[in-house]
Amino acid sequence: MTFSLRLHSLLPAILLSLLSQSAFCADHAASVAAKSAFSLPPPVELQYSIRARQSGIPLSGSASVKWQWHDKSYQIQTETRAMLLGKILDASSQGTIDEYGLAPEKFIEKRLGKPPTTTSFERDSKTLRFSASEASYALKGGEQDRTSATWQLVALARAAGDKFRPGSEWKMFVAGRRDAEPWSFKVIATENLSTALGDFSTVHITKAPPPDSKDQQLDIWLAPALDWYPVRLKFSDASGEFVDQLIESKHPL
């Protein structure tokens, strides 16, 4: 009787788990990237100024991004610093270049006060794995990590021509530290933006989280006249906290 009661109590959890896994698979299948033309931008180091509000406290700082590629491989290194706190985020993505564009192999992220995490795209076994969780996903092609996704978007935008217009959507399956989920980038409008490098006509793209998600919204402004580099990025959440990056300099690599 005890065993039966326990089994009965576990059935809803088991069914929920199976349904959840099925939903993840369906989401992944629906978000598998189509093979689209892409054009990688020239290697560069970009420097940004930062203003932010975290835990109700206004902060300022700086960020740098090194984007490099050669032949069939790429590497991205990012670093974010805040005044008084020092380095608060260090992330890197490296991998190859295939028919989809960027094909990450390893994504490493180190946040202030926390151990680094590694997300591995195991191409031989076609499996996506995480050091911070037991989750795993089958690799179907076109998957990105949270660092490579922006540069994959840049590469798609550079090759899309008139297709990269307001109202268009660009979907990816994106891995973070513990799991992965579908991302949909939507082109919003063309906007003028003043920066330390001058005034640019930019394309504003947004990635809004699903209605039931606690994830951040990401807004990106790409400058076609500047090799489509991201000249502004803003991460914000429903509580009003945000991190806003604006370009200050660029240095070819």
One domain, residues 12 and 48: no
Where are any strands of DSSP class E within 34-179?
Answer: 44-54, 57-70, 73-82, 86-98, 101-111, 117-122, 127-130, 136-138, 144-145, 169-175
* 167 and 184 both lie in a single domain: yes
State CA 152 to chain mean position distance.
9
Q: Are residues 114 and 125 in the same domain?
A: yes
Does one domain contain both 96 and 127?
A: yes
Taking the C-alpha atoms of residue 106 and residue 93, their distance in angstroms, rounded to an integer, is: 6
Residues 15 and 62 in one domain: no
- Only one residue has tokens 């217009």, namely 165
Note whether 87 and 212 are same-domain residues.
yes
Do residues 11 and 86 both lie within one domain?
no
207 and 226, same domain (yes or no): yes
As for how many domains the chain has, the answer is 2
Q: Tens-of-pLDDT digits for all 253 residues of the chain?
A: 333 333 233 334 333 343 344 444 445 544 556 789 999 999 999 999 999 887 788 889 999 999 999 999 999 999 999 888 888 889 999 999 999 999 999 999 998 889 999 999 999 999 999 999 999 999 999 999 999 999 999 999 999 999 999 999 999 999 999 999 999 999 999 999 999 999 999 999 999 776 666 677 899 999 999 999 999 999 988 778 888 999 999 999 9
47 shares a domain with 21: no
Structural domain boundaries enclosing 17: 1-31
Same domain, yes or no: 7 and 114: no
25 shares a domain with 80: no
Residue 135 and residue 44 share a domain = yes
How many other CB atoms are found less than 10 A from the CB of residue 179? Answer: 15
**What pTM value is reported for the model?**
0.86
